Structure 1
Amino acid sequence: MLKITRVPANTPPGDSLFVAGSFNIWNPRNPAYSLTKNPDGTYQITLPASLGPVEYKFTRGSWDKSETGADKQPLPNRRANLQQAAVISHEVLAWSEPGAAPAKKQTASPQVHTLSDSFRIPQLGRTRRVLVYLPVDYANKPKKRYSVLYMHDGQNVFDAATSYSGEWGVDETLDSLRAAGQDPSGCIVVAVDNDNQHRSDEYIPWRNAEIKAGGQGGAYVDFLTLTLKPYIDTKYRTRPDAAHTGIAGSSLGGLISVYAALKYPRVFGRVGAFSPAFWVCNDSLKAFAKMHPAASTTRFYFVCGPKESETMLPLMAAWRNNLRNQGVPASNMSFRAPADGQHREWFWQREFPAAYQFLFRPAAAKTKAAQ
């Protein structure tokens, strides 16, 4: 059992408290993980001991209202082994609030611009902010066309000021690779924000009854494929074929990227799956893959930390094997599990350059994939 013995005096009495962690795909407002408020002002929730080692944080329903240190600065994830203690007690020192902490420095490069603050998602009846990174030479080479990489969790892709758990630095990485002569062709990056409330629903194709999330992933991928991509291909000088169209993300973003390549193999030919959360719908995804096999020409880059969870590496390895059995050659797959890997933005940021170079290397180049 997790127990909060004290909360800040300014905690609104009507607010519910939640725990978000490695066991519920870091959903800050999952009703199944709402804490019970006791008459003495404490809060508690009982989690299955079978979860074993877990990481987590407490929130008031969103990452904008998550626990912080007394100085209002973000805290590292809490850690506990549920098999080693019956009751694990905590104190929440303060809550983050929009505008309460000093504004974070903007780090997005000049090549990043906002396509729209409210791009319409007709498949879901919502809108979303969409960001676009253009290569440095885009304006100076009017006849050149570029590959495109679609990425999820757009808040974390380019800018520390908008990130809620660290940024990937994709813009700086691509600028640096180009300056070093390691990315001669260039790439447009389209980053779609999540909206916090619906992230889990949109990034999981099927409903997961246990965590009470998912089921809208198919509609979200339809949006990327049938609405956003045609718009991008019309507005920018893209190379629209699958060999030059990638999709990438982390955790649930990695999961939905693999699903997208299975559902639309003639659209997404390059897939970056960083710490993919296959566990939330593995059986359903396997059944889907039997009816919707991956294209043999698709490239997959898989990476995770071997200690992220008990299932992370085994499931990722199983999906590598599934894809191999479907006919994706070893040369089209990279599989990495560095010992220090964690479920963190700094890890995915570090791994992004290698992933990008593997996925978008010229077809004629010979690169040995890690097995």
Structure 2
Amino acid sequence: MPSFVNLKFITCSLLLPLAAAGQYNVSVAVTQLPPYHPQQADLFLAGSFNGWNPADTAYRFQHEGNTYRLNISLPPGEYACKITRGSWEKTECKTDGSDIPNRVFRIGRDTAINWQVDCWSDRFPRPARLSTASPQVQVLDTAFLIPQLNRTRRVWIYLPKDYASDQRRYPVIYMQDGQNVFDDATSFSGEWGVDEYLDSTGTPCIVVAIDHGAQQRLKEYNPYNLDSLTGEGEKYAAFLAKTLVPYIDKKFRTRPHAKDRMLAGSSMGGLISFYTALMYPEIFGGAAVLSPAFWTARPLAETVKEKAKSFKGKMFAYAGEKESAKMVSDMQSIFGLMQQKSKGKYQIDISPEGRHTESEWRKVFPKALEWLLGK
């Protein structure tokens, strides 16, 4: 998922003893809402602990009179989140409609938090943003069919400046969350600037970016069931490997070898990029796995034990220590298994100050791509 504009932290107080081994009880209360707030509207908490799902029923507040309450359990650590009314178009904001920083809280014991919401963003029409996409970027299809899931997606493609004037073949990188790859006008909170980077460096590479589905993202990018969500990641991975790659290879001058096909994504997009490379090593020979949401994929370690032996490509992995309590440890655990079980090459990058943001991934992506493309 895209990273999110930060929201404000209000107050925190201590509560009760530890509820379960390694986890603490967190009680969140929203005690003040805008006067025009819809009385029967549901509120949700979306953050680094649930893949930034704006309508996660497991994080839906209970309405108690004039107060909304939510009780959850979390491991110790720092978390970022925000309150929504079920979508990213309905998030809290300042009274003038401008964005406010992330709610950030740290858990070290059972905790009670009281918050207030000043205003909702859907009360203010958002001005249209100008496109920042390079001339080398085009929309390949506004409704490319994903037959495995019987739905469509917008697909973008970046072609190098010399593509039309030479006959070279190019490596291809397939990127998730396509809205955030090239264009600030379509991104939620900033683009990765992949086109600007490639234009400025002349890196010979084709990039194919697939939009996520607003309501389907958590299912499409997860190969496993998560609480009430049925994972569709196995089918989405098959779409990338069996439908999109053959189409791109047929229509464009690509290098038709696994070592020249890569995947990239962050958060849930990092998870599905990793999983697809793992499942289809004969198709994809590399992946940039940034801030992967491995905590949403509990059976992943068993899949790695079963499949890693076949992977002989390259993976670049990144995580920031300020993303969530288990981001770094989860990633290190999975890539530790990969190093034990496979003969692939791995570059692990840990940032002590790294957070779960698009701006962070924009900084890291060039390093990841250069390493993947390097010989």
User: TM-score scaled by structure 2?
Assistant: 0.88
Deviations 1:135-185 (A, max 9, x none): 1111111x211111111111111111111122111111111111xxxx3xx
1:203 touches 1:214 (CA, 8 Å); kept in 2? Answer: no
Whole-angstrom CA distance in 2 between matches of 1:217 and 1:312: 20
* 8 Å Cα contact 2:176-2:265 kept in structure 1: yes
Question: Is 1:153 aligned with 2:168?
Answer: no
**Is the 1:73–1:101 contact (alpha carbons within 8 Å) kept by the matching residues of 2?**
no
* Counterpart residue number, 1:197: 215
Deviations 1:34-83 (A, max 9, x none): 1112222x212112264553211011111122222222222221012344
Secondary structure of residue in 2 paired with 1:27? coil
Helix, strand or coil at the partner of 1:45: strand
The letter of the residue matching 1:304 is A
- Matching of residue 255 in structure 1 with residue 279 in structure 2: no
Contact 1:247 1:257 in 2 (8 A): yes
Q: Find the counterpart in structure 1 of residue 303 from structure 2.
A: 288
Distance 1:288 1:312 in 2: 19
* Alignment of 1:220 onto 2:236: yes
Aligned twin of 1:164:
188
Q: 1:144 aligned to 144, 159, 168, which one?
A: 168
CA RMSD of aligned residues (A): 1.9
Match of 2:148 among 118, 123, 131: 123
Q: Does 1:274 align with 2:274?
A: no
Name the structure, 1 or 2, with higher relative contact order (CA <8 Å, separation 6+): 2
List runs of 5+ in structure 1 lacking aligned partners. Answer: 364-371
Partners of 2:75 and 2:325 within 8 A in 1: no
* C-alpha contact 2:281 2:312 (8 A) present in aligned 1: no
Whole-angstrom CA distance in 2 between matches of 1:68 and 1:313: 30
SS at match of 2:240: helix
Question: 1:224 & 1:202 partners in 2: Cα distance?
Answer: 12
Greater share of strand? 2
Deviation at 1:11, TM superposition (A): 3.0
AA aligned opposite 2:357? R
User: What is the 5 A alignment of 1:23-172?
Assistant: 23-40=49-66, 42-48=67-73, 50=75, 52-83=77-108, 86-97=111-122, 100-141=125-166, 143-172=167-196
TM-score (norm 1): 0.89
Asked if the contact 1:128–1:193 (Cα under 8 Å) also holds between the matched residues in 2, the reply is: yes
Q: 1:275 to 1:102 in 2, by over 3 A?
A: same
**Kindly tell me: are residues 328 and 10 of structure 1, through their superposed partners in 2, closer, same or farther at Cα, counting changes over 3 Å?**
farther
Mark the runs of 5 or more structure 2 residues left unpaired by the alignment.
1-26
The reply to whether residue 323 of structure 1 matches residue 348 of structure 2 is: no
Q: Structure 1 residues 67, 145: CA separation in 2 closer, same or farther (over 3 Å shift)?
A: same
Counterpart position of 2:33: 7
Tell me the amino acid that sits aligned with residue 250 of structure 1.
Answer: S
CA distance in 2, matches of 1:71, 1:112: 35
Q: Distance in 1 between matches of 2:74 and 2:330?
A: 22
How many residue pairs match? The answer is: 349
Report sequence identity in percent.
43
Which of 321, 334, 355 aligns to 2:368? It is 355
Aligned mates of 1:237, 1:27 — CA distance in 2: 37
Quick one: which amino acid aligns to residue 349 of structure 2? R
Give the Cα–Cα distance (whole angstroms) in 2 for the partners of residues 314 and 63 of structure 1: 29
CA distance in 1, matches of 2:216, 2:187: 17
The residue type equivalent to 2:271 in the other structure is L
**Matching residue within 201, 221, 235 for 2:251:** 235
Distance 1:64 1:171 in 2: 27
